[in-house]
Amino acid sequence: MQDEYMALMANRTRTLVPRPVNANIVSSKWLFRHKYKADDTLECYKARWVVRGFSQRPGVDFDETFSPVVKSATIRVVLAIAAARDWPVHQMDVNNAFLQGYLNESVYCQQPAGFVDERHPEHVCLLDRSLYRLKQAPRAWFDRF
């Protein structure tokens, strides 16, 4: 949880603000999972702070959500052409990918459990960047990419 929280802070994903009147405050939670190596041995425990996107309101917390997706058949064709022509192929992984997208809307959410600011416990987070499970997170990441 500490590593995830530090990544959130380093990416400047949110700003603490007083709770706005009549604002929809999206709830949040911690998700935990095990990450395994290729040989099925445990690599690490992962924690991710996510918002509950189902509590977002259309037109208030988000407008556009569409993000283009590449079909797997297209990827196979491109890889087949690259292999036939002996082109170099590289794979890329972006750590905390959805945290890289900027938001166009004002989205407010709870402070993460276990990391509530002691000086401002009643404040909420104004999200500057997208978080996992936001309705517009895939679109924000695509726009940034």
The answer to whether residue 102 sits within a structural domain is yes
What is the β-pairing status of strands 25-26 and 102-109? parallel
The answer to whether residue 32 sits within a structural domain is yes
The answer to whether residue 73 sits within a structural domain is no
Supply the range of the domain harboring residue 118: 2-65+95-144
User: Which pLDDT score is estimated for 125?
Assistant: 94
The answer to whether residue 26 sits within a structural domain is yes
pLDDT tens profile 85-140: 999 999 887 777 777 888 888 899 999 999 999 999 999 999 999 888 888 887 88
pTM surpassing 0.85?
no
The answer to whether residue 21 sits within a structural domain is yes
CA angle 109, 115, 118 (to 5 degrees): 100
What domain count does the chain have?
1
The answer to whether residue 120 sits within a structural domain is yes
The answer to whether residue 33 sits within a structural domain is yes
The rounded distance, in Å, linking the Cα atoms of 107 and 103 is 8
pLDDT tens profile 21-63: 988 899 999 999 998 888 989 988 889 988 888 877 877 777 7
125 Cβ partners below 8 Å, 6+ apart?
Answer: 14, 15, 16, 17, 108, 109, 110, 111
